[in-house]
Chains A and B, each alone.
Chain A
């Protein structure tokens, strides 16, 4: 946003939400929500799943064909912001690659993604890559101080530091945490509890359950909890990662490599497959088996 503001001035902040519809070659109607100003348009093409190719092409074509109104006072190109490019299908990425070049004159793209691993090289070589590193803990703490100052709050630096630590470089989270703390207790105290989102607590409990008992019955309970998480739209890969973290902190060092391997293995399956629950459950079962074997060997060693 800031870049766009620099480019076009304040006009770019007059936003509107539009529902655009497209028709796929198979005559399926697609609807996608875009956020746009007169100068730019922001869209998350991965919202439409496998039909993203059509959206990408049409969107850019449309934007590029509408010329800038007042070329004397503006830049002579529009900007298309595509978010979550790493979630685009291969097909769409290939389509994007040439479309980018074709409409270079009238429109520029800003692609936003978490990691370039999933962006095909052809696109990477056509873009100016800007790596946006996460802010360091000191930076986060500093920002928190600034925010609190503006809000007229007094933030102990001890607490700011702890929040920064917990946020793991995620500034958005840090600010949210800070606000949650304020609601919990104000004035702040240096040692007050910084709360996690409740699904993380839930996940932690689930991990404890797994470590406590390894049996099919327990697995059934765990499955119920996994379903619970999924109904609340926690993405399965996030669940998998969180579960791994919690399980690792609960198990012996010797087991860690094996557990990590199986987590990576099933997470890959999860990405390839369709029914996330199979793979999550498979991971839990694998962990249970590993852990149980470890315990049994431990008992055997005792005698």
Chain B
């Protein structure tokens, strides 16, 4: 107990226990088993080398050249999440500097670190101050610069970005910057013009399935082919999400049972088709009370409104028995609902509003 108290006061946090701590003895919990170290698969199967990076051919080609000795420009990686942006630059840096030099040569800053203007200036400055030699301790040659990785650069304020712009110019001799973001439009123009831009594409299904199969083999997970397809469909080109889902699914099933489509559906929160059918059927019924019940059911089942929205959208666009005009009316409402949901509006109200528009269009439109 004492030891714990010391431990907590030793941390920078100012903790005030409002009540005296109850005496606890945990020695009696010996039944707790020693478990093997669990590394999330996302970390475990992160690409280690540039060559491992899947699907991003352009970037890989450029980086390969750099690895063989040519100069590195400032980089700007952008693209949807889970396409390997961070992995790529980490792998590249690792192979450039080797394990020993990595710590002294690479500075990683991300949104969770303080990234005000001052931090950008001071931290980057002090990091870039010392010129790097062009040999490794083990004698192998290595490039004479350091790398600053700014992850999630799109969440930096534009003032901080402006400060960065000057720093980038000043430190060109010793430092290269690599900015990583989801939306290139949120990076100010002067910075994008100073960087070599690379767009990371969402992973193609073939590439993903190959990779996922590889992981399955390594982890001895059995997976049904249709489940794999669903997995790829729901993860939408996001490798990290796919791996995460796969791990969850395999945990759920245990070692011996194969991962099935339903399990994937369940953990990803995707609404099953029957539910969607029910929604549309109810919309056809022109009964407001039924609609109300359906919405309540959806919420009770715990499906997210945004998920419902995107699935419903796919359905509505492909529906054949309604006119384009009706479709556009529905889609317009969908856009509005999406915006409202993003703003934090109530799910029940938004869903019922959307469904009532659909009902209106299906039963009374045209």
Taking Cβ atoms with an 8 Å cutoff, the residues of A that contact B are 8-11, 14, 16-21, 25, 38, 57-58, 62, 65-67, 69-70, 72-76, 94-99, 102, 104, 115-118, 121-122, 124-134, 168-169, 237, 240-241, 244, 248, 253, 256-257, 260-261, 263-265, 267-268, 271-272
Contacts and interface: CB of A to CB of B under 8 A. Distances in A.
A69 B3 contact: yes
A197 B220 CA distance: 53
Given A125-B82, A248-B288, A58 B248 contact: no
Nearest to B267: A129
B111 A98 contact: yes
Contacts of A97: 111-112, 152
Given A260-B352, A260-B353, A57 B112 contact: yes
B284 to A, nearest CB: 15
Interface in B243-298: 244, 247-248, 251, 266-269, 288, 292, 296
Contacts of A65: 11
B31 A99 contact: no
A186 B268 CA distance: 45
Which 6 residue pairs are nearest across A and B when measured between Cβ atoms?
A: A264-B353, A9-B29, A134-B300, A268-B345, A125-B241, A98-B112
Contact of A18 (B18, B82, B305, B306): B18
A131 B357 CA distance: 28
B183 to A, nearest CB: 12
Contact of A129 (B10, B16, B268): B268
Contact of A66 (B8, B251, B266, B359): B8
A161 B40 CA distance: 44
Contacts of B337: 264
Nearest to B34: A72
Nearest to A99: B112
A57 B111 CA distance: 11
Contacts of A69: 3-4, 7
Contacts of B110: 98
Residue among A57, A99, A115 with the most chain B CB within 10 A?
A115
18 contacts: A8-B32, A10-B29, A16-B21, A38-B24, A57-B112, A66-B8, A76-B37, A98-B110, A115-B347, A117-B341, A122-B81, A125-B240, A125-B241, A125-B244, A127-B244, A131-B302, A248-B288, A265-B353
A73 B296 contact: no
Contacts of A10: 29
Contacts of B366: none
Interface of B: 3-4, 7-8, 10-19, 21-22, 24, 26, 29-32, 34-35, 37, 40, 42-43, 81-82, 110-112, 114, 116, 151-152, 155, 182, 238, 240-241, 244, 247-248, 251, 266-269, 288, 292, 296, 299-307, 337, 340-341, 343-350, 352-353, 356-357, 359-360
A38 B111 CA distance: 29
B19 to A, nearest CB: 6
Contacts of A134: 300-302
Nearest to A37: B24
Contacts of A9: 26, 29, 31-32
Given A129-B267, A133-B301, A267-B345, A261 B356 contact: yes
Contacts of A256: 288, 356
B13 A58 contact: yes
Nearest to B113: A98
Contact of A38 (B26, B182, B360): B26
Given A129-B269, A264-B340, 4 more contacts: A18-B16, A25-B114, A126-B240, A128-B251
Contacts of B359: 257
Contact of B152 (A17, A94, A267): A94
Residue among A25, A65, A128, A268 with the most chain B CB within 10 A?
A268
A95 B349 contact: no
Contacts of B155: 94
Contacts of B352: 260, 264
Contacts of A66: 7-8, 10-11
Contacts of A168: 296, 300
B152 A98 contact: yes
A95 B353 contact: no
B15 A11 contact: no
Given A20-B15, A69-B3, A104-B40, A128 B244 contact: yes
A56 B320 CA distance: 48
Nearest to B110: A98
Residue among A66, A75, A257 with the most chain B CB within 10 A?
A257
Contacts of A267: 345-346, 349-350
Contact of A268 (B4, B116, B307, B343): B343
Given A18-B15, A73-B30, A126-B244, A257 B360 contact: yes
Given A70-B26, A241-B348, A264-B349, A95 B112 contact: yes
Nearest to A272: B343
A168 B344 CA distance: 23
Contact of A130 (B267, B288, B345, B356): B267
